[in-house]
Amino acid sequence: MNEKLCTLPESSKIYLPAMVFRSLQPAVLEAYLDERARAEEGFNAKVAAYSITIGGRVPLVDTFSSGDQMVRGMRLLSPTEELPAGWRRDGCYSAVPALRTPEGKKAAAVLAGLQLPGPSFPGAPTHLTGLDGSRVIPRLQRAASAVYLTLASAVSGPEAARIAGTHWARVPVQQITAAVLLEAA
């Protein structure tokens, strides 16, 4: 007989981190998250305003693993679309400033102001070094009215110590797994 002991909902996507820390100061974290939301809204408003200045084209926004975002150019509707002065093609459907021209330098200066740094959670570094030497980016996950800081790879004791004990407490991975399953039920 092939009986399943635990059935997960089809829609649930469970990410099993290697290490988990639970927030000890949810008020501080909520204040940071509110500030971060305002920064993201401001960035999105700047990008929308920039879109108007480039003729309604869609800005080309790069997002990095650290969460940093930057506008580096614009998307094109067709590979034969005529480019404004100071722009050059970067592939078939995108254009970036041509830095060898005065117009391109001016466009690049505008783009330099269209950046959003990645998140920097209170009491946690922006990245750690995993046991295998990889770069580990802390992520937040909410589950069962708690906020957790998760790491995709395990880090050594000294690296884990960089996560402030005044803000975060290490908990077993099973705690967040149980919280996620509780919410899914």
- Do you know the residue count of the chain? 185
> Average pLDDT for residues 9-26, to the nearest whole number?
77
Are 137 and 173 contained in the same domain? Answer: yes
The tokens describing 95, both together, are 């254009």
Residue 68 in any domain: the answer is yes
CA distance 40 to 82: 32
- Amino acid identity, position 120: S
- Percent of the chain exceeding pLDDT 70 equals 91
pLDDT at 5 over 60: no
Query: Which of 116, 145, 164 is the last residue in one of the domains?
Result: 116
The total number of structural domains in the chain stands at 2
Are 79 and 137 contained in the same domain? Answer: no
Q: What is the pLDDT of residue 180?
A: 79
* 87, 97 Cβ separation under 8 angstroms: yes
Q: 1-10, 25-34, 148-157: which range is least confident on average?
A: 1-10
Mean pLDDT over the full length of the chain: 88
Q: What is the pLDDT of residue 146?
A: 87
Are 88 and 135 contained in the same domain? Answer: no
Greatest distance between any 2 Cα atoms in the chain: 74
Q: Residue 26 in 3-state DSSP?
A: helix
Residue 175 in any domain: the answer is yes
Q: Where are the alpha helices (DSSP H) in the chain?
A: 26-53, 102-112, 157-160, 173-184
Q: What is the pLDDT of residue 144?
A: 80
pLDDT digits (tens, 9 = 90+) for 71-98: 999 999 888 999 999 999 998 999 999 9
pTM, to two decimals? 0.78
* 155, 146 Cβ separation under 8 angstroms: no
Residue 9 in any domain: the answer is no
Residue 7 in any domain: the answer is no
Residue 110: closest CA among 56, 51, 66: 51
How confident is residue 15, by pLDDT bands cut at 50, 70 and 90?
A: low
Residues near 19 by Cβ (< 8 Å), separated by ≥ 6?
150, 151, 154, 155, 160, 170, 173
Are 50 and 91 contained in the same domain? Answer: yes
Q: How far is CA 34 from CA 2, 29, 37, 93, in A?
A: 48, 9, 5, 35
Residue 44 in any domain: the answer is yes
Query: Which of 76, 95, 116 is the last residue in one of the domains?
Result: 116
Residue 3 in any domain: the answer is no
Residue 110 in any domain: the answer is yes
Residues of the domain holding 172:
19-26+120-184
Are 111 and 40 contained in the same domain? Answer: yes
Query: Which of 89, 116, 143 is the last residue in one of the domains?
Result: 116
Q: What is the pLDDT of residue 3?
A: 44
